[in-house]
Amino acid sequence: MAIDAQTHRYQRERLEAVFRSMQRDTVPSLVRINEDEDLSLIEMALLQTLDHDRPPFPGDPTLTELAEVLGRSTSRTSRLVDRMVRRGLAERYEDDADRRVRRVRLGAEGRALLERIARVRIEAQTALWDHMTAEELEAVVSAMEVLAAAAHRMRSERDARGRPE
């Protein structure tokens, strides 16, 4: 059942306020990781982009594909990848089918870092559970299942369009 535009806007504003509040209360642990690792926002976006198992990249992306996804020039993306490679967070390699093509993949250090970040995010979010009643927890888990299903539908639609958003 569709909702009218005014209700949709109101609910979206409520949800944005809730997200901002939760981020404000749970973000310090994530900031510490980024400070410890000295990661910029664009470096984090690059790592997240390389952490894939489905389209937009059926395989590892080229620099041009990465640049398009990140909304940057190929030369800026190349310099960014160079920094990430020096840190062991990413790897460049020649495409097996066409040696002129250079591809980029997540390095072992990059994968380990993303796993640490995911663990911290999950710990920060699940720590909230200790402050909920059983009824509140059930409501949250049910709502998260709805969000996960919507995210899956959104990703499937995007993949079907072939757009790496």
pLDDT digits (tens, 9 = 90+) for 79-97: 999 999 999 999 999 988 8
At 78 the pLDDT is 95
pLDDT in tens, 100-143: 888 999 999 999 998 988 888 788 778 888 888 999 989 988 99
C-alpha dist (Å) from residue 66 to 29, 46, 55, 115, 143: 28, 8, 13, 21, 33
At 32 the pLDDT is 61
CB 51 within 8 A of CB 111: yes
CB 90 within 8 A of CB 106: yes
155 pLDDT exceeds 90? no
